[in-house]
Amino acid sequence: MPGLHSQVSIIMSDIPRNSLVLYKNRPARVVEIGKKIEIETENGRLSVRPKDVTLLHRGPLASLAQLTPRQGAVQTAWELLAGDTTTLPDLSDLIYDTFTPQTAWALWQLVDDGLYFSGTPEEIHVHTAEQVATTQAARAAKAAEQAAWDAFLARIGAGTYLPEDAPYLNEVAALAMGRQERSKVLRALSEKEEPESAHAFLLKLGYWDEMVNPYPARLEMPTADPDVP
């Protein structure tokens, strides 16, 4: 059985100079092979351990600038292989009709995106139609939620609100009445997450008026007259 040193040597011999590797899920070019591997990243050169990188393509890759966006038959390949397992080279051949450092990086970005594919360079899982539909629905819901949040922040930044903003503003009201300790809304506005700040914010916005008294709830005082026999 080979020792640790020989195992490391085998691993390093599998990663030649000018090959394309992944380092922290970003592209890197192998510059030198020594006790460690010297790589060129988008932020400069550094030395890393063999286990810190994953080989995507043996190259040659002269520069990371060569990793330009690629267009390919992604939808067709997904429909043909849905539910199957494949490899980076085979899937690249199907989508781009070739396997180069450029197509390896373009394809890995699709795998990392996770809509149609997932896995490792050695074993890529092609998602089923149901999996893709579920992911698309979740992303659409998240995008709609973010759009609603951004629109709400824009409105209150302009000193106004809509009836649909009640869930956001009721959260601030809960803080004002001492029913919770945090407020996403006030945090987004860089305001103090304190009952007094919440109260002042609701008054300034006009969501509350002077007739709203949060102090009984904040102090856990009864808000109704006691029953008198």
- The radius of gyration of the chain from alpha carbons, rounded to an integer in Å, stands at 28
Percentage of the chain with pLDDT > 70? 88
Work out whether the CA dihedral 121, 126, 131, 137 comes out positive or negative: positive
Q: What are phi and psi of 188, to 5 degrees?
A: -65, -30
In the chain, where do the E strands start and end? Answer: 20-23, 26-33, 37-41, 44-48, 53-57, 85-86, 117-119, 124-126
Q: What are phi and psi of 190, to 5 degrees?
A: 60, 35
Q: How confident is the model at residue 3 (pLDDT cuts 50, 70, 90)?
A: very low
Q: Please tell me the predicted confidence (pLDDT) of residue 13.
A: 53
What structural domains and CATH numbers belong to the chain? 4-66 (2.30.30), 74-127 (no CATH), 133-218 (1.10.10.10)
The contacts of residue 212 (CB under 8 Å, 6+ apart) are: 202
58-74: average pLDDT: 94
CA–CA distance, 77 with 130 (Å, rounded to integer): 16
* Nearest-10 crossing angle of helices 74-81, 88-96: 130
Q: What is the pLDDT of residues 151-196, one digit of tens each?
A: 999 999 999 999 999 999 999 999 999 999 999 999 999 999 999 9
In the three-class reduction of DSSP (H, G, I as helix; E, B as strand; rest coil), residue 170 is classed as: helix
CA–CA distance, 179 with 216 (Å, rounded to integer): 11
Strands 117-119 and 124-126 turn out to be antiparallel
Nearest to 103 by CA among 93, 113, 114, 112: 93
Give the pair of three-digit tokens for residue 219. Answer: 């102090």
Q: Please tell me the predicted confidence (pLDDT) of residue 133.
A: 98
Q: Please tell me the predicted confidence (pLDDT) of residue 222.
A: 56
User: 117, 126 in Cβ contact below 8 A?
Assistant: yes
The contacts of residue 183 (CB under 8 Å, 6+ apart) are: 171, 172, 174, 175, 193, 198
Give the pair of three-digit tokens for residue 134. Answer: 């579920």
